[in-house]
Structure 1
Amino acid sequence: MTTEFTSDTIVGELSDTVDRELENSTFWRAFTRGELPLEHVRDVFLQYYLWRNTFHRWFGVCIAKSPAFGSGRQTEYILQELSEHIEEEVSGDHHGLAVQFLKVLGVDNPRDVLPLPHTTAYENHFAELYMSPERSGDEALAALAGRELVAPKRNRLTIDAFQEKYGITESLEFFHLHEELEVEHFRGLWGAVATQSEKDRRLVEAAKDQIVRHVRFWDDVHAAV
């Protein structure tokens, strides 16, 4: 048995993927340099807000693909990790914090905003991909964990850009919160599936795929708004 695929080593490998994707992103490069009009940035983050409102459904996919009790798998642990994530979404008032942030950008009623086709496609792709019989529940969990690991670096870039390039210093709590939470979220989800064996490489690839897709979502929206 090796330790190649423990959460500690995988955090490093996947964090390198996060750094590379964000550095090569058209949107994130321009945003962090302050090269985009604030109205454009607002419209991009509105689409992120619309997707974020549906993020809990991705957890539902992982629950639907979780192993049965009595299967010899860590079913209790997997469901506990997913339940804790959902509880944090609700009790932490993540939606309320996001709405406060949008108000600072001048958006009083985000309900009036319609999702772009890119946003709808991104919302739906996780279920379309991982509810497939060809995909395992472990892959779905690893993919979700990879998406979680994007948040710390992405949110640090967001906070710094708004404060330093756009002069926005208030109502950024939503991004501070997720900057702190997501590495622990990743470790919990990865611990639910990793077996420290070579077959875990497919789980690493599932996590990397979601990192790439998440950054691509921002670039697609950036090009469309």
Structure 2
Amino acid sequence: MKVNSTLATTSSRLNREKLPPEVEAQKQAITERTVAYCNESLDRSRFFSLLQDGEITPSIMQYAFLQYQLWRDRLHQWFGLCIVKAGSCTDPDQKAAIMSLADHTFTDLQDGHSEMYLEFLHDLGLGDPEIKASRRSAATVSYERSFFDDFGYGTNNFYEALATLSGRELCVAVRNERILQYYFDARSMKHPTWLALHAELEVEHFHDAIRPAVTRYTGNSAKIAELMKAVEQGINRHVQYFEEMLHEYESR
């Protein structure tokens, strides 16, 4: 996956220093495995199989991403939980994680990503009255709670929570590339700014989130395996959310 110059326009303030060779090699290996797992999970998904076959209708897209807007309006709570779970702001790895979580939240709010998302909903054919009238479905409520159910305060799994969050980030990038190709390109529609930006920006967010955990555990194969399991958990739950929204749409 590639990252282009669009990232230069963001408000990120992180200092992404070069990692030691062994840590960089481990991060690259995890990145490649994560991208492969994202594609495997999306390939197994009925929602994304229908998307690839050209069978996801505009009304399904409208339903799914109206709900997704309601979830992403509370994404900061997931980042906040990870910050709360960090036991030290002076431990180098936890400090780096806290900074990356705070930076992601700052960038999203400072750069107007919520406004970009509203434009994306307009590109899907939704009007402001429909957007304002939308309410959380059972699938959205379940997805919002899932991170807290798995990594609630008081549980000793900070780096696993960080890895799960990072898996979701990279899955969003791979997911958005598919939506651009199989929905917007297939209909000769312009690429919405939010969708295109997050097809690349989330790659950086993945690296920022996973980096402290990889730095912590490079050389510990058992812990790296646990991180990968957590990454896959985040990917699977994200894809499951779209399966649940598809089921809700079809059951209406």
Name 2:212's counterpart in structure 1: 192
Show structure 1 runs of 5+ residues with no match.
none
| Counterpart code for 2:62 | R
Aligned length: 222
| Counterpart code for 1:114 | R
Aligned to 1:209, which of 230, 233, 239? 233
Query: What's the TM-score once normalised by structure 1's chain length?
Result: 0.91
Identity %: 27
Q: Given the alignment of the two structures, is residue 136 of structure 1 paired with residue 157 of structure 2, yes or no?
A: yes
> Where does 1:14-53 land on structure 2 (aligned, <5 Å)?
14-53=34-73
Give the C-alpha shift of residue 115 in structure 1: 1.4
Runs of 4+ deviating beyond 4 Å = 2-5
Measure the CA separation in 1 of the matches of 2:72 and 2:89. Answer: 30
Of 79-88 and 161-170, more deviation after overlay is shown by: 161-170
Give the C-alpha shift of residue 63 in structure 1: 0.3
User: Equivalent residue of 1:39, what SS?
Assistant: helix
Query: What's the TM-score once normalised by structure 2's chain length?
Result: 0.82
Q: Compared with structure 1, are the counterparts of its residues 124 and 136 closer, same or farther at alpha carbon in structure 2 (3 Å cutoff)?
A: same
8 Å CA contact 2:162–2:210 kept in 1: the answer is: yes
Higher RCO by CA contacts (8 Å cutoff, separation 6 or greater): 1
Measure the CA separation in 1 of the matches of 2:187 and 2:136. Answer: 25
Give the C-alpha shift of residue 183 in structure 1: 1.6
Q: CA RMSD in A?
A: 1.9
Give the C-alpha shift of residue 135 in structure 1: 4.0
Name 2:5's counterpart in structure 1: none
Give the C-alpha shift of residue 4 in structure 1: 10
Measure the CA separation in 2 of the matches of 1:67 and 1:95. Answer: 31
